[in-house]
Amino acid sequence: MNFSAANPLSPFRELHRHRALLHQFARRAIEQRHRGSFLGLLWTVLTPLLSLAVYTFVFGFVFEGRFTNSPHETNLDYALGIFLGLVLFQFLSEVLAVSPTVIVTQPNFVKKVVFPLEILPAASVLAATFTAAISLCLALLGVAVLGDGLDWHALLLFLIIPPVILTGFGCAWFLSAFGVFIRDIASAMPFFVQVLIYISAVFYPLSLLENTPAWAQQLLLANPLLHAVESARRVVLWHQPVENSSLAFLWITGVLVYLIGNFAFHKLRPAFADVI
């Protein structure tokens, strides 16, 4: 399949052309994840809730964490803030964890010249998106019922989440391609994911970075997930508009990672069969 670096719309067109196949593999990925378990898809609800309970107890009650200086912020408010951050983090962490082995575990498809291999990592992203969508609905329901409620600012999530998904696609293509040649990527990814959760402001407010050295601030602010987590909390919990600079950074990095990941995948694809 030809890929033109001069045409940035090529990746979008290819996914749309193979949308039926993409949907089929995404559905299979979701079903395989819970095949053989007693609770099945119910785990997509239980897993984020169990994670929320653990992190809220440790950081909310033990370390008494807060996102604002307001005396009116409760442990429940803090828990809902963590939940929103976990939704975005778990989406990207799932993509990062699965992507390095997506191609190497499907050697039969690699040998088929006409098969669009980019569908395999893309399907894993859609499967992660499905899980994240369920968790996001739970988070919004919690804010609406147990928190301060929702207003029109929550609609800004439709501007915050798409670039995160684009980043997921780019990372999936990039890691799945290099994972064919460097098998150590899959082994290193759990450590990277563990670091990612702590540098993405899931448990602390962005204002806390003011206490870090300037070089550390710049390094942390280069993480698009941090901006996505903070922006999601602003629009859903605090009913504030998203900062234009953060939104612009999210979209620029999202589109760039998407295009670079797709470009790298198509450049390395001809050598997959020789390695596998």
- Joined together, the tokens standing for residue 61 give 């009650």
CB distance 139 to 87 below 8 Å? yes
Q: Amino acid identity of 63?
A: F
C-alpha 155/C-alpha 145 separation (Å) is: 17
pLDDT digits (tens), the chain, 276 positions: 444 444 667 778 888 888 898 999 998 888 777 665 566 667 777 877 787 788 777 777 777 778 887 777 778 888 889 989 999 999 999 999 999 999 999 888 887 767 889 999 999 999 999 999 998 998 898 889 888 889 999 999 999 999 999 999 999 999 999 999 999 999 999 999 999 999 999 988 888 888 888 888 899 999 999 999 999 999 999 999 999 999 999 999 999 999 999 999 999 998 898 887
The ranges assigned to domains in the chain are 10-275
Residue 12 contacts by C-beta under 8 Å, 6 or more apart in sequence? Answer: none
Distance of alpha carbon 46 from the chain centroid? 19
C-alpha 154/C-alpha 159 separation (Å) is: 10
**DSSP 8-state assignment for residue 155:** G
Q: How far is CA 202 from CA 45, 75, 90, 114, 227, in A?
A: 19, 15, 11, 42, 10
